[in-house]
Structure 1
Amino acid sequence: MSPAVMSVVGVALLLAVLGFAFWRPRGLPEVVLAAPAAGATVLLGIASPQQAWESVHQLGPTLIFLGATLLIAHLLDRDGVFEWLGGILGVRSAGRPARLLLRVFIAAAVTTAVLSLDATVVLLTPAILVTVKRLRFAAAPPLYASAHLANSASLLLPVSNLTNLLAYQAVGLSFAGFTSLMALPWVGAVLVEYAVFRLYFRQQLVALPAAQQVSADTLRAAPRTCLAILAAILAGFGLSPLAGVESVWVAVAGASVLAVRALLRRETHPRALLREINVPFIAFVACLAIVVAGATSHGIESALAALLPSGTSWWSLVMIAGLAAALSNVVNNLPATLLLVAALGHPAAPAAVLAVLIGVNIGPNLTYTGSLATLLWRRVLVSKDAMPSLKTFTLLGVATAPAAIIVAVTGLWVALTYWG
């Protein structure tokens, strides 16, 4: 096949894989189509066996990290961390919807940053929904906040988003270095989201006579042991570079401690733990990397590289983030990250890679298809008989995403200029 034909076939395979992952007919795992597509990519010569192996090999630590963080989030949920957090939100809101929204913003931003956006979508969102129903508040403000912050608040740590993990390998920064550069973008994006939400939902944030209050007496006890282990894991992420230990092994150690504790207390069994690691999804990510490598190695990567600005000025970073946001809404932010990081070349300028992350993490708030997390959020709400509105989601995205990207890029530029 000619390079042009290979590109067409490769892109067709990529779109088929993404379409299947979005809609998951009959609830089948994403890997059901991704694995044959990856095999076809190699068999048809679109990607060589060496390219396929290198794609998966480079992702190895990232995939292990992903499995460990998924297991950590699940075990924290089993110990009641999110139920306890939902109760705290209800008590601290004091019967006022605006207070609840502020506390949901804080909880969702921290949960996303520390435990990843999947924890916010799958574990925190149902807890928020239960709290809202209990308080008889309007559900829309806090529920849409959980969706937006699952994306926008995933800028802070390498563990906050799978896109971060993919870029973390290419950026050449330590865990602390990555976090210090992304702290201002993270704060800026969350503040923009909060300001827009307060304005957009101002009529629904007025306290109503029918609203209820949650008594502190009804709160479950804080799961102190799990919270202490989580604090130790986070401390390990920050201190591990000093000992020459990669962050992935800190995550594995933390997951192992929580898993052994749960097994000894007979709260779970090995098969359940393996299920929560979500091996099919990890295999999907590996297969997707092979398909992306094949789809982009015959001219698309070069075309993207030509579109990307070569400098690291404020305007160049805005352009990179804008292109990343647009691409994430066309092909989803996961393959968009793989495409753009590859297009930036090796070694890539850290500023450019971090600008890509701003675009692929905030940009998906514009459409349901921008990230798998947003589709999962919608699926969670539908299963709870709380169908979200496409119109509201889109209007909020238009009102928040462009402004949040510009503010976040400005924060990145300031961090790079003054302490980068």
Structure 2
Amino acid sequence: MADTVRDLVPLVALLALLAVAVVHPPEWLEALVGVGAAAVVLAFGQLDSGDLSTERDHLLPVVGFLMAILVVAECCRAAGLFGAIGARLARDTEPHRLFRLTFLVATVVTVALSLDATVVLLTPVVLAAGAGAALDRPLQLVCVRLANSASLLLPVSNLTNLLAMPYLGIGFGRFALLMAPTWLLTLALEYAGHRWFFRHAFAADPPATPVTDEPLPPLPRTPLLVVAAMLVAFAVGSPFGIDPVWFAGIAAVVLVGHGLARGELTVGRAVRSTHASFAVFVLGLGLVVEALGHGPVGDLVARLVPDDDGLSALLALAVLGAVLANLLNNLPATLLLVPLVGPLGTVPVLATLVGINLGSSLTWPGSLANLLWRRTVRRSGGTVRSRDFHLVALLVTPVAIGAGVVVLHLWAGLV
């Protein structure tokens, strides 16, 4: 009986954390539940000092990076970057050009500033630009779709990628090289899927473009230069074992200083933009999933992991990752599955990430980005359409996962 209770504790703690992620209560409660769940798991003795040390070394750089990149994104917003993007989107009402531009912007923001910036900062801008237009449905949906899909390219585009990096044995550039063909194929499928599903909206007559002589607000150069330098530093520092958190931290400090000097930012706003409560929540989640992996759930998942790296095994890993992402959410799925796949090698871990990152867009709880996007749309006065979300996912995601893994397998064999 005692062993049964002990094994159930991490599962109950994880369910509590997932409920908090769905409801998204005040920040202090989010942090409190994260601390409480971790404390309960530790009290029942599922983790020893070695486990705690390993998780600390694994999670702290990832959480630190998350906080830094959120500050960078907020500084970009304070400098007017997203406002300038919104003005350019609103100026062009021709459906095909507007969608292509939005698609491109969502891809670049996800790759450079992570998927959280796309769902939280870019989404309101896109909603405002497409308000009243026939394309309002595909424009808002493409933000959350690309937040998950476009995050395949770089380790820093998604927390799942960063969590997997210690098990990959490759650097920043090699990750991008191996993932690039799958990423490009996924973007092509996303574009084609949206164009087909919303074909009637694209066929509608565009609204008249308002005549205005007002100049477009300029794109702020300093944030763009700092973000570009940060991305280059990630690639240059990776072969030397320098963690991305240091470069993201430097970029955050530079942009905060720039924003304070220009009066665009306050100290309080900069501190709030770290979302420290969410960082605490992620730390608690990591400890709970580590404990879950030591019990029956971990044993079950381990039995489902294939023992080779052939194409059929890679496809099985991607499917397993997608299923776990939708059952447990993408972060717990990564924390639970990737350490088990790691001994199989780099390509199996990458195939697992393809399944987790793309598969997490199938249901609302599959990715924290989905939940953040839904909340952002509602707060911005938009309408969340579950039918569009799920039907486009069913149309695009299974094909993208299967084709993406095949391309990854073939490309890895060449390079």
Report the TM-score, using the length of structure 1 for normalisation. 0.94
Contact 2:79 2:264 (C-alpha < 8 Å) held by counterparts: no
Contact 2:95 2:206 (C-alpha < 8 Å) held by counterparts: no
Question: Over aligned residues, Cα RMSD in angstroms?
Answer: 1.9
2:97 equivalent in structure 1: 99
2:10 equivalent in structure 1: 10
Contact 1:184 1:412 (C-alpha < 8 Å) held by counterparts: yes
Contact 2:94 2:206 (C-alpha < 8 Å) held by counterparts: no
Contact 2:186 2:400 (C-alpha < 8 Å) held by counterparts: yes
CA shift, 1:213, in A, is 5.1
CA distance, structure 1, for counterparts of residue 42 and residue 403 of structure 2: 42
1:396 equivalent in structure 2: 392
Structural mapping, 1:366-405, within 5 Å: 366-405=362-401
From 136, 139, 142, the counterpart of 2:136: 139
Larger mean CA deviation between 350-359 and 330-339 belongs to 350-359
2:361 equivalent in structure 1: 365
Contact 2:182 2:408 (C-alpha < 8 Å) held by counterparts: yes
- The letter of the residue matching 1:371 is S
From 244, 248, 252, the counterpart of 1:247: 244
CA shift, 1:15, in A, is 0.8
2:55 equivalent in structure 1: 55
* Structure 2: gaps (5+ residues): none
- The letter of the residue matching 1:39 is A
CA shift, 1:68, in A, is 1.1
Larger mean CA deviation between 205-214 and 59-68 belongs to 205-214
Matched, 1:316 2:313: yes
CA distance, structure 2, for counterparts of residue 159 and residue 26 of structure 1: 27
CA shift, 1:3, in A, is 4.4
1:90 equivalent in structure 2: 90
Contact 1:302 1:343 (C-alpha < 8 Å) held by counterparts: no
* Structure 1: gaps (5+ residues): none
Secondary structure, counterpart of 1:277 in structure 2: coil
From 403, 407, 410, the counterpart of 1:407: 403
- The letter of the residue matching 2:375 is R
Matched, 1:185 2:182: yes
CA distance, structure 1, for counterparts of residue 206 and residue 233 of structure 2: 47
**CA 321–273 in structure 1, closer or farther in 2 if over 3 Å, else same:** same
Larger mean CA deviation between 183-192 and 234-243 belongs to 234-243
CA distance, structure 2, for counterparts of residue 200 and residue 86 of structure 1: 24
Secondary structure, counterpart of 2:273 in structure 1: helix
1:152 equivalent in structure 2: 149
- Spell out, residue by residue over 1:132-172, the C-alpha distance to the aligned partner (whole angstroms, 9 max, x if none): 12x73431011111110011111011110111110112211
Contact 1:113 1:159 (C-alpha < 8 Å) held by counterparts: yes
CA distance, structure 1, for counterparts of residue 299 and residue 261 of structure 2: 53
- The letter of the residue matching 1:130 is A
Q: How many residues align?
A: 415
- Spell out, residue by residue over 1:200-221, the C-alpha distance to the aligned partner (whole angstroms, 9 max, x if none): 0000012425343575844101
- Spell out, residue by residue over 1:332-390, the C-alpha distance to the aligned partner (whole angstroms, 9 max, x if none): 00100001012225x45111111111111111221111111101111111112212111
**CA 5–271 in structure 1, closer or farther in 2 if over 3 Å, else same:** same
Secondary structure, counterpart of 1:366 in structure 2: coil
1:281 equivalent in structure 2: 278
Larger mean CA deviation between 45-54 and 218-227 belongs to 45-54
- The letter of the residue matching 1:82 is F
From 393, 412, 415, the counterpart of 1:416: 412
CA distance, structure 1, for counterparts of residue 323 and residue 208 of structure 2: 41
Question: Matched residues, percent identical?
Answer: 37
CA distance, structure 2, for counterparts of residue 37 and residue 214 of structure 1: 57
1:326 equivalent in structure 2: 323
Contact 1:3 1:298 (C-alpha < 8 Å) held by counterparts: no
Structural mapping, 1:99-118, within 5 Å: 99-118=97-116
1:127 equivalent in structure 2: 125
**CA 82–180 in structure 1, closer or farther in 2 if over 3 Å, else same:** same
CA distance, structure 1, for counterparts of residue 146 and residue 116 of structure 2: 11
Larger mean CA deviation between 23-32 and 174-183 belongs to 23-32
From 282, 295, 298, the counterpart of 2:295: 298
- The letter of the residue matching 1:121 is V
Structural mapping, 1:5-84, within 5 Å: 5-25=5-25, 29-84=29-84
CA distance, structure 1, for counterparts of residue 95 and residue 113 of structure 2: 26
Contact 1:358 1:405 (C-alpha < 8 Å) held by counterparts: yes
CA shift, 1:251, in A, is 1.2
